[in-house]
Amino acid sequence: MYGDNSKPVFPTEDALTMIRLALAEDVHSGDVTSLWTIPAEQKEHARLIAKEDGVIAGLPVIELVFRELRANVQVTFHCQDGDVLKKGDLIAELDGGTRDLLTGERTLLNFIQQLSGVATVAHRFQEVLKVGKTKVLDTRKTIPGFRTMQKYAVRVGGGSNHRMGLFDMVLVKDNHIAACGGVLEALEVVKKNNVQNLMVEMEVENLEDLKKLLHKGVDVIMLDNMSNEMMAAALRIIRESGDKVLVEGSGNMTLERAKEIATLGLDFISVGALTHSVKALDISMRI
DSSP-derived pairing of the beta strands 246-250 and 268-270 = parallel
Q: Would you say 3 is a known binding-site residue?
A: no
Cα distances (Å, whole numbers) of residue 176 to 140, 182, 239: 17, 9, 27
Q: Would you say 250 is a known binding-site residue?
A: yes
Q: Which of 106, 212, 257, 259 is catalytic?
A: 106
Q: Which of 89, 201, 203, 248 is catalytic?
A: 203
Q: Which of 43, 47, 51, 173 is catalytic?
A: 173
Q: Would you say 239 is a known binding-site residue?
A: no
Q: How far is Cα 119 from Cα 79, in angstroms, rounded to an integer?
A: 15
Q: Would you say 82 is a known binding-site residue?
A: no
Q: Which of 52, 68, 95, 224 is catalytic?
A: 224
Q: DSSP code of 278? A: P
141 is catalytic: yes
Q: Would you say 13 is a known binding-site residue?
A: no
Q: What are phi and psi of 6, to 5 degrees?
A: -70, 170
What is the Rg, in whole angstroms, of the alpha carbon atoms belonging to the chain?
23
Q: Which of 51, 141, 212, 257 is catalytic?
A: 141
Strand order in the sheet with 268-270: 135-137, 268-270, 246-250, 220-224, 200-204, 170-172
Close Cβ partners of 22 (under 8 Å, ≥ 6 residues apart): 107, 110, 111
How wide is the angle at C-alpha 125 spanned by C-alphas 123 and 127, nearest 5°? 65
Q: Would you say 142 is a known binding-site residue?
A: no
Taking residue 96's Cβ as centre, other Cβ atoms within 10 Å add up to 19
DSSP-derived pairing of the beta strands 90-97 and 74-77 = antiparallel
Q: What are phi and psi of 204, to 5 degrees?
A: -135, 150
Q: How far is Cα 12 from Cα 7, in angstroms, rounded to an integer?
A: 15
Q: Would you say 139 is a known binding-site residue?
A: yes
Q: Would you say 26 is a known binding-site residue?
A: no
20 is catalytic: no
239 is catalytic: no
Q: Would you say 211 is a known binding-site residue?
A: no
Q: Would you say 251 is a known binding-site residue?
A: yes
Q: DSSP code of 38? A: S
CB 258 within 8 A of CB 128: yes
219 is catalytic: no
Q: Would you say 155 is a known binding-site residue?
A: no
224 is catalytic: yes
Q: Would you say 6 is a known binding-site residue?
A: no
Q: Would you say 24 is a known binding-site residue?
A: no
Q: Would you say 282 is a known binding-site residue?
A: no
Residue ranges at the known binding site: 106, 139-141, 163, 173, 203, 224, 250-252, 271-273
Residue ranges at the known binding site for substrate: 106, 139-141, 163, 173, 203, 224, 250-252, 271-273
Catalytic residues: 106, 141, 173, 203, 224
